[in-house]
Amino acid sequence: MRVEPGDDQYDTLVVGFNQRYRASPEAVHVVRSTEETVAAVSEAVRSGKRLSVRSGGHCYADLVYHPQAEVIVDLSLLNRVSWDGERRAFLAEPGAQLTDVYETLNRGWGVTLPGGLCPAVGLGGHASGGGYGLLNRRNGVVADHVAAVEVVVADRRGGARAVVASRESRGDLGDLWWAICGGGGGTFGIVTRFWLRSRGATGDDPRDQLPRTPERVLVNAATLPYEGLTEESFTRLVRNFAGWCGEHPSAEPPEGAIGAIMIAPHKAGRQIQMLSLVEAALPGAESALREFTTYVANGTGMQVGPSLPMRWDQTERLLSSIEPRTMWHLTERLAVKSAFHKTPWTPEQCAAAFRQLTRDDYANDTSRVVFYAAGAQINTVPEDAVAFPHRDSTYVVTYESFWSQPGEDQAHVGWLRDVYGGVYAATGGYPIPGKDTAGCYINSPDPDILDPEFNTSGVPWHAFYFGNNYARLQRAKRRWDPGNVFRHSLSVRPD
Ligand SMILES: Cc1cc2nc3c(=O)[nH]c(=O)nc-3n(C[C@H](O)[C@H](O)[C@H](O)COP(=O)(O)OP(=O)(O)OC[C@H]3O[C@@H](n4cnc5c(N)ncnc54)[C@H](O)[C@@H]3O)c2cc1C
């Protein structure tokens, strides 16, 4: 279906989840098959139009909806999930939203993916950039489970065609599969199919091809109110969280299966919250989770609740509906920054964050610093196994702001820059890959990284997102998209 200005759906189809960005393309192609995708790309390439690609529409930045986009290929209705016996893998289309992917995989086969919590994120962008959530210590990132992809690429004669590349492919096709698994969306072509099978999976039983869904998990919620919170307690809390992650790098269960997220909003949000969980059936699960929460809360005043057993699907549904505004409503404007960490924040970094979180001249309960436990299974995969390079960090921090009034853009983006710039002040404003930090997450794209006013580190943007994998990504780009048809501000450059 081709939608043009003036058509009924046009307004709906030129904006994603982030209301800050809007495009005004000549056409949006809402495609329902590989053939329609090939036709849409061919038409755009032959007429020299600038393309944008959308699946779930949850890009944080303007990588899809921007003023230069002349044609948008929208894959949101290409969204089936099924078992493909011939390929011994689950076939999942890019427009499938994570909630549907999880539900179908779980109800059909009792398996899952270790992806994000936000239900409406699309598999297309998520898997292309990595994809992590509360099961990441147990099962790695989503990109680790992509066995093959069908990609519509622009060919040298200005046309388009679909190719299939897999984990078993060698040469150029091997590079394409590898690049799609973490090299960032909108860069090499349009993925029209993902086949999902974990690394090392064997046999023909679908239930053995992806991580088994933990039937029940123990879920723990802990809170620390801002009232009376000192910089010292905050520092201790943050360093405890990071300290536990650093001391438990192994994927060995039960510790290796613990997932945790700690959200420190601006003090307008009243309290810091931590949610942690572990598969209930694992021997020692309950005491491991208790030790984790005790370790993090130690000396901080954090109130730790009881750990409650829940079915995994209940847990997922609950978590994905706790914050409908930031996860579901189409009213929010947002910005994000990210950092992979190997060592605990220094006291100076804690102080810088605490200053911003407790500022009196700024208030927003959805401006926040979010800590995710990482490492474990993620780090069992070699850095160059797929393009997603972050295999030596133990926790990830995202800096997020959500707001709804256009007139407030500057205030919230400014706060985000202040907190991030403060935390990484000692390394040029960004978490340079090295002893303590390990770059940024391409699925939390941050256009400021290109701006020497904010990134004074002298380290090029791609080193943060792709580390040592950038050279091979460029090789894949030169082979599969030499004309740079698929591009945005943070896509791999051919040269
Ligand atoms: C509220 C919210 C919560 C989030 N939570 C998490 C989380 O818990 N964990 C996590 O890892 N990430 C999370 N993310 C980030 C999310 O993983 C990325 O934004 C992801 O890229 C979104 O994918 P999408 O298909 O929905 O987005 P889109 O906006 O459709 O696309 C994102 C990027 O991928 C490209 N792309 C999309 N589809 C294709 C395709 N089929 N082929 C090639 N390129 C394509 C686009 O061109 C764009 O560059 C969250 C984002 C939001 C907004």
The CATH number that applies at residue 255 is 3.40.462.20
| C-beta separation of 125 from 58 below 8 A | yes
**Is residue 421 within 6 Å of ligand 1 at its C-beta?**
no
Q: What is the pLDDT of residue 56?
A: 98
Residue 156 has pLDDT above 80, yes or no: no
**Residues 185, 85 share a domain:** yes
| C-beta separation of 274 from 295 below 8 A | no
Average pLDDT (106-129) is 97
**Is residue 140 within 6 Å of ligand 1 at its C-beta?**
no
**Ligand 1 centroid to 130 CA: how many Å?**
10
Q: What is the pLDDT of residue 371?
A: 98
Average pLDDT (275-298) is 98
For residue 267, give every residue at least 6 positions away whose Cβ sits within 8 Å of its Cβ, in sequence order, or none: 226, 357, 358, 363
**Ligand 1 centroid to 186 CA: how many Å?**
10
Question: Which structure tokens are listed for 147?
Answer: 């066995």
Helices (H), 26-141: 34-46, 98-109, 123-129, 136-139
Average pLDDT (23-51) is 97
To test ligand 1's pocket by mutation, which of 29, 54, 176, 328 has the most ligand atoms within 8 angstroms of CB?
54
Kindly report the backbone phi and psi dihedral angles of residue 187, in degrees, each rounded to the nearest multiple of 5, phi listed first: -125, -40
**Is residue 186 within 6 Å of ligand 1 at its C-beta?**
yes
Kindly report the backbone phi and psi dihedral angles of residue 8, in degrees, each rounded to the nearest multiple of 5, phi listed first: -55, -45
The residue contributing the CA closest to ligand 1 atom 13 is 116
**Residues 157, 107 share a domain:** yes
- Domain containing residue 159: 1-213
Q: Which whole-number Å values give the CA distances from 229 to 118, 134, 168, 238, 416, in the listed order?
A: 30, 27, 53, 13, 21
489 assigned to some structural domain: no
The mean predicted confidence, pLDDT, of the chain is: 97
Instruction: Indicate the residue type of 214.
Output: P
Q: What is the pLDDT of residue 211?
A: 98
Q: What is the pLDDT of residue 329?
A: 87
Q: What is the pLDDT of residue 321?
A: 82
> Is the bond into 254 cis (omega within 30 degrees of 0)?
yes
For residue 251, give every residue at least 6 positions away whose Cβ sits within 8 Å of its Cβ, in sequence order, or none: 137, 138, 376, 377, 379, 380
226 assigned to some structural domain: yes
| Domain boundary residue, one of 198, 213, 228 | 213
| Domain boundary residue, one of 213, 241, 267 | 213
Average pLDDT (343-354) is 98
495 assigned to some structural domain: no
**Ligand 1 centroid to 124 CA: how many Å?**
7
Average pLDDT (232-247) is 98
**Is residue 467 within 6 Å of ligand 1 at its C-beta?**
no
Residue 104 has pLDDT above 90, yes or no: yes
Percentage, residues of the chain above pLDDT 70: 100
Q: What is the pLDDT of residue 43?
A: 95
**Ligand 1 centroid to 409 CA: how many Å?**
21
111 assigned to some structural domain: yes
To test ligand 1's pocket by mutation, which of 63, 118, 136, 331 has the most ligand atoms within 8 angstroms of CB?
118
| C-beta separation of 217 from 315 below 8 A | yes
- Of the pLDDT bands very low, low, confident and very high (cuts 50, 70, 90), residue 261 is very high
**Residues 252, 198 share a domain:** no
Residue in this structure with the two tokens 């679908």, named with its chain if needed: 206
Pairwise CA distance, residues 176 & 140, whole Å: 21
Q: What is the CATH number of the domain that holds 129?
A: 3.30.465.10
DSSP percent split of the chain into helix, strand, coil, nearest 5: 35, 20, 45
Residue 317 has pLDDT above 90, yes or no: no
Residue 11 has pLDDT above 90, yes or no: yes
Average pLDDT (147-174) is 94
Beta bridge partners of residue 222, listed in sequence order: 274, 304
Q: Give the pLDDT confidence of 468-491 residue by residue, as tens digits.
A: 999 999 999 999 999 999 999 999
**Ligand 1 centroid to 152 CA: how many Å?**
18
**Is residue 114 within 6 Å of ligand 1 at its C-beta?**
no
Question: Which structure tokens are listed for 357?
Answer: 């979180």
CA-closest candidate to residue 100, choices 83, 85, 122: 122
Q: What is the pLDDT of residue 48?
A: 93
**Residues 42, 74 share a domain:** yes
**Residues 269, 170 share a domain:** no
Q: Is 241 exposed, middle or buried (0-12, 13-18, 19+ CB in 10 A)?
A: buried
Question: Which structure tokens are listed for 38?
Answer: 């090939």
The residue contributing the CA closest to ligand 1 atom 18 is 443
261 assigned to some structural domain: yes
**Is residue 182 within 6 Å of ligand 1 at its C-beta?**
no
383 assigned to some structural domain: yes
Q: Give the pLDDT confidence of 375-423 residue by residue, as tens digits.
A: 999 999 999 999 999 999 999 999 999 999 999 999 999 999 999 999 9
Task: Count the domains in the chain.
Answer: 2
Q: What is the pLDDT of residue 322?
A: 81
Q: What is the pLDDT of residue 217?
A: 98
**Is residue 417 within 6 Å of ligand 1 at its C-beta?**
no
**Does the complex come out with an ipTM higher than 0.90?**
yes
